[in-house]
Amino acid sequence: MVFIMSDSIGETAELVARAAASQFNASGIEFRRISHVQDQEAVRQAVKQAQSVRSIIVFTLVLPELREYLCEEARRQGVTAVDIMGPMIAALSGLTYAEPKLKPGLVHRMDDEYFRRIDAVEFAVKHDDGKSPRGMALADIVLIGVSRTSKTPLSLYLAQRCYRVANLPLVPEMPLPEELWQLPPGRVVGLTIQPDYLVRIRQERLKTMGLGPVADYADYDRILRELEFARSVFDRLRCPVADVTDRAIEETASHILQMTTARRDAVDG
């Protein structure tokens, strides 16, 4: 059991804890949030819960007195406690020679960035899978590729970073919207994948849907034709291409941003 303790909602601590757990065969680990911890009594009760089972505490508490109390109480009860926020605050304080604000929940404040992120997510959902092609002209990035090349996950991940992203599936039998050819250079990114890897992904997709082999969806020759068609579209658009084969969404997204920034800089220059 991993107890997530925070004076805000606990999202940051849980993301870090889950990222660490992914490095182990730890699918059975349970994560339990204890949010909005504001006083010593709440800390004491949380540590008492953690002490009753085999567990650790991962916490993000901004106030130094609460962090110190938690660490002391955890030591007294024999519970391992991992401070996510404290060392980072101390390091940044040393870097900037400034005192921290010590106000819980600042990362989730309702600022302009928050609203830009919400707008970007709504845009990605509205323009997912080729819906509303006219809206592609308003996108920061347009992702194109055959089915199962991570277009939707990448769109939503980039939206969380405030980029307005549309995506479009490439199917040989389906005509492409005219709006695609009118986009400025550097706006479109092609997504490709190794055919063997795509066969496995599509086969797994069919299994999760409770379906056996359906038409040509996971057929190797069909996939080769789709990828060849996609390559021809990429060549006509002269767009940068990202290979998503066995790559994490975060890694591919970073690569996409590098390519689009470099292409736009070259055009502007």
* Residue 147 structure tokens: 């089915």
Q: Which domains does the chain have, with CATH numbers?
A: 2-108 (3.40.50), 112-268 (3.40.50)
On the CB side of 150, CA atoms within 13 Å amount to 23
What's the pLDDT tens digit per position in 138-161? Answer: 999 999 999 999 999 999 999 999
Does the pLDDT of residue 109 top 60, yes or no?
no
Residues 6 or more apart whose Cβ sits within 8 Å of residue 214: 206
Q: Which residue has the tokens 């790559």?
A: 247
230: enclosing H helix or E strand? helix 220-237
**The three-state (H, E, C) secondary structure of 28-44, written as one string:** CCCEEEECCCCCHHHHH
What percent helix, strand, coil does the chain show, rounded to 5? 50, 15, 35
Does the pLDDT of residue 70 top 70, yes or no?
yes
pTM assigned to the model: 0.63
Residue by residue, DSSP assigns 202-225 as: HHHHHHHTT----TTTT-HHHHHH
| pLDDT number for residue 104 | 67
By three-state DSSP, how is residue 87 classified? helix
